[in-house]
């Protein structure tokens, strides 16, 4: 197999790791919605932690992207 073709296939496979991030993102915001619906007064504090959770889960997706870019262009 040519190097170019192998790179494209490798990059595509590396992006499969983003599935985990998608599931995790759904978890974070579903917990936020459930938490606020049970206790609307806690919205401010829970929102801060939700934003922290969003950024951390997003990071996993971006790790997968970095590996894909490394395979494609490194």
Binding site for another protein (CB under 8 A): 51-52, 54-56, 58-59, 62-63, 65-66
Q: How far is the CB of 66 from another protein (least distance, A)?
A: 5
Residue with tokens 């970095």: 66
Q: How far is the CB of 1 from another protein (least distance, A)?
A: 26
Count of all residues that appear for the chain in the document = 74
Q: How far is the CB of 27 from another protein (least distance, A)?
A: 18
Please, which residue, 13 or 69, has the CB nearer to another protein? 69
For the four alpha carbons of 33, 37, 38 and 44, in that order, the dihedral sign comes to positive
Contact 68, 21 (CB under 8 A): no
């Amino acid at each position: 197999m040519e190097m170019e073709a192998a790179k494209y296939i490798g990059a595509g496979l590396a992006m499969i790791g983003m599935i985990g991030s998608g599931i995790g993102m759904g978890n974070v915001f579903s917990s936020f919605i459930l938490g606020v619906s049970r206790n609307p007064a806690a919205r401010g504090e829970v929102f801060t932690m939700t934003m922290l959770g969003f950024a951390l889960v997003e990071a996993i997706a971006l790790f997968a992207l970095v590996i894909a870019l490394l395979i494609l262009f490194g």
